[in-house]
Amino acid sequence: MVDLVEGVEKEKNIRAVKWITADEFYLAGHFPGEPILPGVMTLEGMVQSAIFLAAESYARGRLRCSLEKVDRVRFKRAIVPGDRVDFLVEAAGQDGELWKFKGQAQVAGETAAEANIVLRVHYREVGFEI
């Protein structure tokens, strides 16, 4: 769900982009004649952006992430073909392996969706230093 990562501040925030085109497979039946991006796909873009942010926060190693919780999800505007969606995700804290994020999907500077996301991030360092 992410076409481009425009910027990352390790352990702080990320800005990722998705261009919505009319030929996206998930738009075919949602809804015939008036395609809109399904809310779950918008949420998926925010979750993937959070995972990229977690991955960029480590220099090297093996990262395994799993979605633990999503809450306070709000959909405020339809996302349609031709829109550029900016996924803005900010790290909101850590409690051991649980990382908390605040995510937002914006279209032309207007909030289309927002959610709080919790990921379980397991990191294992590999390799060695010389």
Compute CA distances 96 → 73, 119, 120, whole Å: 24, 11, 9
- In the chain, DSSP assigns E strands to 4-9, 13-19, 62-75, 84-95, 98-107, 110-124
Question: Catalytic: 30?
Answer: yes
| C-beta of residue 53 within 8 angstroms of C-beta of residue 13 | yes
DSSP 34: S
d(CA 86, CA 78): 14
For 2, counting Cβ atoms within 10 Å of its Cβ (0-12 exposed, 13-18 middle, 19+ buried), the class is middle
Instruction: Out of 15, 30, 77, 120, pick the active-site residue.
Output: 30
Catalytic positions, written as ranges: 30
